[in-house]
Structure 1
Amino acid sequence: MTTTGAPGTTGPTGPTVGATASATGTGTAADALQRPPAEVRHADELAALRADDSGPRPPGWELSLRAARRFVVGDEGAGISRKFVGNPSLVERALVTLATNRGLMLVGEPGTAKSLLSELIAAAVSGTSTLTVQGGAATTEDQIKYGWNYALLVAEGPSRRSLVPAPMLQGMAEGRIVRFEEITRCPLEVQDSLLSLLSERVLAIPELDGADGMVFARKGFNVIATANTRDRGVNEMSAALKRRFNFETVFPVPDLDTELALVEAEAGELLRQSGVTAAPDPEVLEVLVTTFRELRSGRTREGDGVERPSAVMSTAEAVSVAHAVGVRGWFLRGEPGSAADVVACLAGTVAKDSPEDLARLRRHLEQRVPRRRGPQWQALYDARHLLDG
């Protein structure tokens, strides 16, 4: 990570963002990345929105609030793709929050696209989504704020030259959005290191003297944090930290058709990146997504009860299974993938938390699937033996 400039100045944007500029100009650097950041993937749309953006912009923002909303939820008439499948009012509330002095906390079940939403918003507001802290049990305060180049520290003592900025310091100095993923996975003392940053908007560096020891946040700085509801109680946030965030819940995709279209689009893109030229079979995808929805909700589409596995059966997991089904079918047999591949790939998704989950899945295939009509449902039922190992 590059060194942030002096307080009150905008420092370099770092190696990842530097590669973005090159990738946008030639296309070759981006093509070599497995998953470029949002500002690279959608560089043309962001450029078009900036060129056509006449709305009022909050201080420090790259786009107006209306243009940022269009970037996330899409505008078919203007050629802006829909990138987040969810309630547009959630996106509006999130953007309004970031235009204030409160942080944004996105909570919800795993796999509901909280990280994607935070990435898209950061790209629209700040032009970069790469100032990110990945929370975990081993996350330390210096990974959030700053560290030191120890060779320079020993040779010269504490100085701006020996300072190595972490995402929070860089975001404050440059006036950008910082993303904090899985914040509740961090120890409480690490979480609470954000208190003064979010309230006073200043980061103190005790090792430096005078003005060098204080970094004041430029306009445009704010924090988007995410947390999974399944992690509730692991490291419960303090009341003081909660008060500095507005909480928004990201819910699963509400209906089958929307989720099916989303899985088809996302899996299709992943398959193209994997060298698979065959498009996913729509009937196989319908079997897959319907099975996921039933196991997730604990109820079939006919209204009968289903044993719910303890594993997360999210839309993101459905995309991963659809991707694996396509890869398995193409590279093993030269075809798009079948319902039998769905069973084989489901095993590793369901059997994560408890061996009993595989038994629940098998009972679902044996008891519910035979009632369905269609060759792919029959193939799903016939392949249930693949769960035995």
Structure 2
Amino acid sequence: MLRRAAAATNPSFSAASAEAACVLLNNATTRMSRVWGSVFASTSKSSAFFSSSSVALNDASESFSSKSSSTPIAIFARTTTTTTTKLTTNNTNKRTYASQAKAVDALFKRPLPHKTQEQLIKSAQRFGPKRPGLIAVKAGMTCDWDEWGKRHPLTVLWIDDNQIVQVKTEENEGYSAVQVGSGYKKPKSVTKPELGHFIKAQVPIKRFLSEFRVTPPTMKMYKEDEEGDDDDDNNNLDVETVEIKGAREYKVGEELNANHFFAGQYVDVQGVTSGKGFAGPMKRWGFSGQPASHGNTKKHRAHGSIGQCQDPGRVFKGKKMAGQMGGRKRTVQNCFVYKIDSERNLVYVRGQVPGRKGSIVKVRDALRKRATVEELEAQIGQIGVTIAPKSSKDPYSAYNKD
């Protein structure tokens, strides 16, 4: 196309041929400018390339101006000049965005105010350190009878090959956390960045990843000076290293199994509820519905009025109506760990948890009912099947004759 259009620069061609060549060259140069713009946008030679091209084409367009008013070379010259301007603007925007990202990153890594840091240390010392959770598969439900003869519904959670993939520290990322991976995934099913992430950690390719905040073994305590300097940047403050009892360092590649918990403690289980699709108000919210007779027709399972009249003349936010039911992330707190089977990596939790059979859930120490450091050190790591101790309260004491 370029060769045919370039023939229009020959003075022996007619005006009609020149006009036809203008159209051809205009289409070709527009396409080529887009291609060259995308190819050379990431190189440092793009600006010089388009600048030199635009100068040469401007000179050529002046010699061709006598044949046609809308020369294709001039059009291409203007196109390349516009492309050069756009590339320069994009590079400027990229530099601006990069500087903004660095500023946000620096702000995120900024140390916490000393008063907030002191509160975190006191909380860790009082309630115990935060430990990483586990990624489990909901295997189903069963039941068991305790020594009192009481029946307990249990949810079976399978801990599928959990490993630590990444450890984040306050010095590098600005906070302490552990990234846990679970399951297995084929190498052809992951992207190159994900593959490099697992190769760097020297762990097998994981199907699921989740991040849990943890308490570091040592934390910095900032003390105010005698003048009571209240500096949020922690400048000119004395620093004292405080050791957190029960906290430890986690290493990349470390395996986590069912022994991470112990029978008798409480955990929080997070999962995605079973999707029910579009449901009416009776199924979704438990509405009683409308009368079956006495003049009511076609609206037996529908809700009633959804608002007032002209004042306020709108439906309030959060009104319970028909809509999508299920498929939401929910957390069940204070689930009692009834039994631990370390040989099969099974955790038996009393009650129900969100999700269907085979769904993925996250299990971590209960936030409101934490186990003490002494209990964790004494109970964790037991081999075999362990069951929660017998309850001291007799569930059938009300039926005793004495």
Larger proportion of strand:
2
Task: Answer yes or no: same fold by TM over 0.5.
Answer: no
Task: Considering Cα pairs closer than 8 Å and 6+ residues apart, tell me whether 1 or 2 has the greater RCO.
Answer: 2
Q: Normalising TM by the smaller chain, what interval?
A: under 0.3
Q: TM-score, normalised by structure 1?
A: 0.22
Instruction: Compare the two structures and name the one with the higher helix fraction.
Output: 1
| TM score, norm. by length of structure 2 | 0.21
